[in-house]
Amino acid sequence: MAPPTIAKLADDNYAEWVIGMEALLVRKGLWEVTSAPADETRPSGSDNTKALRRVHRARGFGTRVAHRRAFWRLSKRPDQTMTSWIADVRRAAFRLEEIDASISDEDRILVLTNGLPDSYSQLVVNLDSTLPSELTIDYVITRLLNEESRQ
């Protein structure tokens, strides 16, 4: 089995990189090494992680505003599968959460449905009339996937 590919750490991929790196270290049984306590000769993995986060994770007001704008402007490409569209929205929401911006399931639902082409307008109308207690992100995703297979 080929090892997983993780993009090199850059200024714009810290959130994805850190998750991929943690998964790789856990898979190789090395995650505990990074969380071992510090001693006189080496800092703890936690100290190194904090330093990386400080350098690579922009989280100022301007960054939050730019990420929010990008989130609200997302739209499904004509050639894009529904699964890929959902992943794009989740990725953008994750990036917002990583910079301590608040994001609700309602926001995720709105972006998922606002970014759809006109062929999904009837589904959006149906979702708008769904009881609030039933309108969960999982419910919306299920309906979107079902609608894609129907179309």
Q: State pLDDT tens for residues 51-106.
A: 666 655 666 788 788 889 999 999 999 999 999 999 999 989 988 888 888 899 99
- Rg of the chain over all Cα atoms, to the nearest angstrom: 19
pLDDT at 108: 96
Q: State pLDDT tens for residues 4-42.
A: 677 787 767 777 777 787 788 788 887 777 666 666 666
Sort 96 into a burial class: Cβ within 10 Å, 0-12 / 13-18 / 19+: buried
d(CA 136, CA 56): 33
Rounded to the nearest 10°, the torsion over CA 52, 57, 59, 62 is: 130
| Contact call for residues 49 and 34 (beta carbons, < 8 A) | yes
pLDDT at 45: 59
d(CA 138, CA 151): 20
Secondary structure in 3-state letters for 15-52: HHHHHHHHHHHHHCCCHHHHCCCCCCCCCCHHHHHHHH
pTM: 0.68
